[in-house]
Amino acid sequence: MLASFDTHIFWEALSSKPYRTGALLALELTLVSLAAACVIGFFLALGRGSRSRAVRAIVFLYNWIFRATPTLLQLIFIWYALPQLWPVFAGSWFKVFLAAFIALSLNEAAYMSEIIRAGLLSVDPGQELAGRALGMTRPRILLRVIIPQAVRIIIPPIGNEFITLLKLTSLASVISLHELLTASQVRATATFRYQEAYSAAIVYYLAIVSVLMILQSQLEKRFTWSSAGRRRRRVAAPAVPAVSHDAR
């Protein structure tokens, strides 16, 4: 079977401009979608902890809709059905990249809200009480006390979501977004060399995900090292008496 694999066609596809452009487009879509999902998910996470029953109901409904329906269906709905529901989206400004961005951002926000909420809940409630005792407002406590500690908790799952979202961008090929999978499909259809065309796309995905995994690992080590370093400095400092945390 491997005897029919043409390495020349494979390397030609691997080094072609459509593949590079498609890979960069997939990475760009992943970055902007995840950034928007983090912002939306943050407010959804705060809404889950709201005292208002109406706000909690809205957040629950949002998460239920976007987590219970397939991502592919959401992409198709936003690209094809949304312009029929709201004619403003039928204009020439509504590009396929924007449709994919909206669908992936809204979908990912439902998952990010649970990740962020778990990170916020992992912080000791005593931290908030200490902030109130110092006269800090609720928003200031959230920004200066809770979020910095929660970030260390949510970095690993956010890294995993980034990788998952990168692979989900391939679904945008069904709405004609010319990303990496679309580039490989076009080449395979034109040359009828499917194994070389799709193998080149696999190499691109493996390379991108491998780099992302390394970056995620380094980021996690940096936060862990900083925390451990502070602990070591506190233990090693001879001039500081050994007192309890509450006494400080």
Residue 124 counted as domain residue: yes
pLDDT tens readout for residues 101-131: 999 999 999 999 999 988 888 887 777 777 7
User: Are 177 and 25 spatial neighbours (Cβ–Cβ below 8 Å)?
Assistant: yes
Residue 179 counted as domain residue: yes
pLDDT of residue 224: 63
Total tally of structural domains belonging to the chain: 1
Residue 133 counted as domain residue: yes
More confident residue, 150 or 194: 194
Residue 243 counted as domain residue: no
Residues 6+ positions from 25 with CB-CB distance below 8 Å: 97, 177, 178, 179, 180
Vertex 48 angle, CA 45 and 54, to 5° = 135
What's the CA gap between 38 and 55, in Å, rounded? 19
Whichever domain contains 209, its CATH number is: 1.10.3720.10
pLDDT of residue 154: 86
Query: Half-sphere exposure (CA, 13 Å, Cβ side) for 180?
Result: 27
pLDDT of residue 30: 96
pLDDT of residue 247: 36
- Parent domain of 92: 7-228
pLDDT of residue 223: 66
- Residues 151-173 have a mean pLDDT of 90
Say whether pTM exceeds 0.75: yes
> Among 56-60, 158-162, 201-205, which is the least confidently predicted range?
158-162
Residue 1 counted as domain residue: no
Helices (H) and strands (E) in the chain, counts: 11, 0
Residue 166 counted as domain residue: yes
**Tokens (6 digits) for 189:** 């259809």
Residue 209 counted as domain residue: yes
Residue 235 counted as domain residue: no
